[in-house]
Chains A and B, each alone.
Chain A
Amino acid sequence: MSENNSFQKFRGASKYVLDEELAKIVNVSMALEMPLLLKGEPGTGKTMLAHAIAENLAMPLISLNVKSSMKLVDALYQYDTLTRLNDSRFGDSTRDVSNIEDYIRMGKIGQAFVSDVRTVLLIDEIDKADTDFQDDMLDILDQMEFDIMEIDKTVKAKNRPVIIITSNAKKDLSDPFLGRCNFHHIAFPDTDMMKRIIAVHFPNLDQEVADACIEAFYRFRRVDGIEKKPATRELINWIRALKADPDFDVSSLSRGDVPYLGVFFKKSTDLAMASKMIARSQN
């Protein structure tokens, strides 16, 4: 582990608005060499944070998107038996059929371990996997090594990656898992934070338009009984849609005339409810 890297500090990236608190937590996690577990509702920028860290520290980002059917070994390495079978039959490749190591391919965690430079390893949506996967994975991330059974070889991490783990679920992860992570819950940004986020994404946007859009956005989030509340991503897409529309006029927003509601609400019941609310407010 190079000394230089551990003293690098994270200060935020070009497209990511970071609050001071979160920056501190990222830095401490890096200093403690512990994975950072991020929870929060969708659209609060959990995944974006990993991208931002990678950009800021100029480290390559390796992201492992966890799937429910995934086995831990898939994330570590794969033994490509089929290619080997094929090679043994036709023998027209440069690989050595009797050397199994030629047919071992690194999975995402493996790649982060063997990389020559320190990387940011993003493990996205860990809650999708079962508890065994989660606990076993942390064992490996703790020890920074794993065995390749087929060739009886141990892979050790050359550089300890910066590990960011995200979870969407409201349910808790297992206690041993939590015990080995630093934890942060990203709350949904408040209005001021959102203004800064929008300013980063749309530097040329008129202030008046931005404020009106954000205000409308929070009004929609407050509609009662909505199943899937619109998140930051929806707001950004919505503003993009408004910007593309030459007929759009800011004053119409305050009159309660809101175009492209479908960008905000992806469920038909939610959409109906929101339209109803708008209709009511116009009367």
Chain B
Amino acid sequence: MFINFFYSLRDHGIPVSPTSFLRFHKALNTGQVLSLKDLYTVARSTLVKSERYFDSYDQIFAHYFEGAEMPPITDLELDEIARALLEEWLKNPAQMADALGIDESKLRKYTPEELIQYFLDRLKEQTKEHHGGDRWIGTGGTSPVGHSGVHPGGMRVGGSGGGMSAIKVALERRYRDYSQQGPLTQSQIGEALKKLRRMVPSGPRDVVNIDKTIYETMRNAGEIEIVFDKRLKDRLKIILMIDNGGWSMDPYVHIVQVLFDYARDQFKELKTYFFHNTIYEKVWEDYTRYKKPQKIITFPNKDPESRIVIVGDASMAPYELMYESGSIYFEEKKSKASIDNLKFLAKTFRHTVWLNPRPRNQWSHTWTIDAIQEVFPMYELTLDGLDKAVNYLMLRN
């Protein structure tokens, strides 16, 4: 039963495991499922394990059990797909070109804006001509936008339960807001950050040190001597600086933030700043690099034991890095050369690394990468590179 429903869920990117599907059947046999609404609720709680997929689930459920039209794709959603396509494209142009049946060399000439427009046009064309057809292209399973597959037919369950019908509930799409949050599939990488901790005794002495207690008791000829210690607490402060200017960094900004947010609770403090290409006089606390600037000059006020992690592709015109007043922003024209600011940071904080999303074998082609590598140790933004960076950050000296 419901095999097609199961595959329908999977096809739309909801990670449903066979085990949970079996469990769903077990639930059907408990005598708890008496109406379509029960079915809706029970299937969701056993099969769907994150509220991010609730919206997709609602749509698929409504479609499957009532043959409801999959809602037409809105412009906003189209925009999102186009963006996702661009990301895919940046990761692997050849594969994408193949999937779309287009000439890679032709698209290579496009700017990102033109590419987005191109994808949008293709997508619109697609929605017009292929209603109910197969899905055109995957978007990594996050976007609930699949055009419906084949309607299975015949699999209708009659009569809905009291109150609002399940279909109506499903069609309400109450969870739409949740589906817009990006996928947090980087959880394994978050594990790599687990090592990033420094346990320091702090607070009152309220933990019994059993080894020492026994030792001291023996020394005391059996007269009990209890030894207390302070609790170990993680006191590590992290400063994260992300280059979010320019489209070349776009695919990575989110990943990096997710990464560190994931591990946020293990740090004493996690501060995120943004910059464009390289660091001049200030960095910004807000994503738009406009509202909350923070001057680099003020950074020595922070704990010198803070770990700084800078994420950027470190690729720019050499003058942006080396010359005084090299900033591409007019209001920053009167500043020290950026490289001096970087050196200043490196001198103030002993533990600083630069993570670069570009693969290591491309680094030697870019002059500014070399220059920055002389200031900070640079690692690839990969699981492996992250691990090395964390090890470096945790060195004692």
Q: In the complex, how many angstroms separate the beta carbon of B174 from the nearest chain A beta carbon?
A: 6
> In chain A, residues 140-182, which have Cβ atoms closer than 8 Å to a Cβ of chain B?
170-172, 174-175, 178-179, 181-182
- Asked if B213 lies at the interface with its beta carbon under 8 angstroms from chain A, I say yes
Considering the complex, give the chain B residue whose CB is closest to the CB of A25. Answer: B45
> In chain A, residues 72-131, which have Cβ atoms closer than 8 Å to a Cβ of chain B?
81-82, 85-86, 89, 127-128, 130-131
Q: B224 — which chain A residues lie within 8 A by C-beta?
A: 85-86, 89
- Asked if A56 lies at the interface with its beta carbon under 8 angstroms from chain B, I say no
> In chain B, residues 1-31, which have Cβ atoms closer than 8 Å to a Cβ of chain A?
15, 17, 19-20, 23, 26-27, 30-31
Q: In the complex, how many angstroms separate the beta carbon of B129 from the nearest chain A beta carbon?
A: 37
A187 to B178, CA, bound (A): 10
Describe A's contact surface by its main secondary structure: helix
A82 to B227, CA, bound (A): 11
- Asked if B266 lies at the interface with its beta carbon under 8 angstroms from chain A, I say yes
Question: Is B178's CB under 8 angstroms from A185's CB?
Answer: yes
Known contacts A32-B23, A89-B222; is A130 also within 8 Å of B42 by CB? no
Q: A185 — which chain B residues lie within 8 A by C-beta?
A: 50-51, 54, 175, 178
Residue among B20, B41, B214, B262 making CB contact with A179, cutoff 8 Å: B20
A175 to B184, CA, bound (A): 12
Considering the complex, give the chain A residue whose CB is closest to the CB of B20. Answer: A179
A262 to B160, CA, bound (A): 46
Considering the complex, give the chain B residue whose CB is closest to the CB of A26. Answer: B45
A82 to B214, CA, bound (A): 10
Question: Is B32's CB under 8 angstroms from A27's CB?
Answer: yes
Question: Is A25's CB under 8 angstroms from B41's CB?
Answer: yes
Considering the complex, give the chain B residue whose CB is closest to the CB of A128. Answer: B265
Q: B213 — which chain A residues lie within 8 A by C-beta?
A: 82, 85
Question: Is B51's CB under 8 angstroms from A24's CB?
Answer: no
Q: In the complex, how many angstroms separate the beta carbon of A169 from the nearest chain B beta carbon?
A: 8
Question: Is B19's CB under 8 angstroms from A81's CB?
Answer: no
A19 to B174, CA, bound (A): 15
**Number of A-B residue pairs having CB atoms within 8 Å of each other in the complex:** 88
Residue among B20, B46, B184 making CB contact with A28, cutoff 8 Å: B46
0/1 interface trace, chain B 35-57, chain A, CB 8 Å (1 if under): 00110011001101111001000
Q: B210 — which chain A residues lie within 8 A by C-beta?
A: 81-82
A24 to B169, CA, bound (A): 15
Question: Is B217's CB under 8 angstroms from A31's CB?
Answer: no
Q: Size of chain B's interface in residues, with CB distance under 8 A?
A: 46
- Asked if A183 lies at the interface with its beta carbon under 8 angstroms from chain B, I say yes
- Asked if B269 lies at the interface with its beta carbon under 8 angstroms from chain A, I say no
Q: A130 — which chain B residues lie within 8 A by C-beta?
A: 194
A39 to B190, CA, bound (A): 20
Q: B38 — which chain A residues lie within 8 A by C-beta?
A: 24
Question: Is B187's CB under 8 angstroms from A29's CB?
Answer: no
- Asked if A20 lies at the interface with its beta carbon under 8 angstroms from chain B, I say yes
- Asked if B328 lies at the interface with its beta carbon under 8 angstroms from chain A, I say no
Q: In the complex, how many angstroms separate the beta carbon of A183 from the nearest chain B beta carbon?
A: 5
Residue among B31, B45, B217, B226 making CB contact with A184, cutoff 8 Å: B45
- Asked if A8 lies at the interface with its beta carbon under 8 angstroms from chain B, I say no
Question: Is A182's CB under 8 angstroms from B184's CB?
Answer: no
A66 to B231, CA, bound (A): 17
Question: Is A171's CB under 8 angstroms from B261's CB?
Answer: yes
Question: Is B222's CB under 8 angstroms from A172's CB?
Answer: no
A170 to B262, CA, bound (A): 9
A18 to B81, CA, bound (A): 38
Question: Is B51's CB under 8 angstroms from A39's CB?
Answer: yes
Q: In the complex, how many angstroms separate the beta carbon of A1 from the nearest chain B beta carbon?
A: 15
Known contacts A172-B50, A172-B184; is A24 also within 8 Å of B266 by CB? no
A28 to B37, CA, bound (A): 13
> In chain A, residues 2-42, which have Cβ atoms closer than 8 Å to a Cβ of chain B?
20-21, 24-25, 27-29, 31-32, 34, 36-37, 39
Question: Is B41's CB under 8 angstroms from A32's CB?
Answer: no
Q: B31 — which chain A residues lie within 8 A by C-beta?
A: 31
- Asked if B163 lies at the interface with its beta carbon under 8 angstroms from chain A, I say yes
Q: A183 — which chain B residues lie within 8 A by C-beta?
A: 45, 48-50
Question: Is A24's CB under 8 angstroms from B54's CB?
Answer: no
A27 to B42, CA, bound (A): 10
Question: Is B48's CB under 8 angstroms from A21's CB?
Answer: no
- Asked if B394 lies at the interface with its beta carbon under 8 angstroms from chain A, I say no
Q: B102 — which chain A residues lie within 8 A by C-beta?
A: none
Q: In the complex, how many angstroms separate the beta carbon of B263 from the nearest chain A beta carbon?
A: 10
A170 to B208, CA, bound (A): 36
Residue among A24, A81, A85, A171 making CB contact with B42, cutoff 8 Å: A24
Question: Is A82's CB under 8 angstroms from B226's CB?
Answer: yes
- Asked if B181 lies at the interface with its beta carbon under 8 angstroms from chain A, I say yes
A172 to B163, CA, bound (A): 32
- Asked if A251 lies at the interface with its beta carbon under 8 angstroms from chain B, I say no
- Asked if B191 lies at the interface with its beta carbon under 8 angstroms from chain A, I say yes
Considering the complex, give the chain A residue whose CB is closest to the CB of B214. Answer: A85
Known contacts A24-B32, A27-B32, A130-B194; is A178 also within 8 Å of B41 by CB? no
0/1 interface trace, chain B 216-239, chain A, CB 8 Å (1 if under): 010000111010000100000000
A108 to B334, CA, bound (A): 63
- Asked if A252 lies at the interface with its beta carbon under 8 angstroms from chain B, I say no
Considering the complex, give the chain A residue whose CB is closest to the CB of B23. Answer: A32
Q: In the complex, how many angstroms separate the beta carbon of B90 from the nearest chain A beta carbon?
A: 25
Residue among A34, A175, A184 making CB contact with B23, cutoff 8 Å: A34
- Asked if A237 lies at the interface with its beta carbon under 8 angstroms from chain B, I say no
A181 to B194, CA, bound (A): 25
Q: A89 — which chain B residues lie within 8 A by C-beta?
A: 217, 222-224
Question: Is B262's CB under 8 angstroms from A171's CB?
Answer: yes
List 12 A-B residue pairs with CB atoms under 8 Å apart, sorted by A's residue number: A28-B42, A28-B46, A68-B265, A86-B224, A89-B217, A128-B265, A131-B191, A170-B181, A179-B19, A182-B45, A183-B48, A183-B49
Q: Which 9 A-B pairs have the closest CB atoms?
A: A185-B51, A178-B49, A31-B30, A25-B45, A182-B45, A183-B49, A24-B41, A28-B32, A21-B41
A24-B41, A34-B23, A183-B45 given; 16 more Cβ-contact pairs under 8 Å: A20-B163, A27-B32, A28-B27, A28-B30, A28-B42, A31-B30, A82-B210, A85-B224, A89-B224, A128-B265, A174-B187, A179-B17, A183-B48, A185-B54, A185-B178, A187-B175
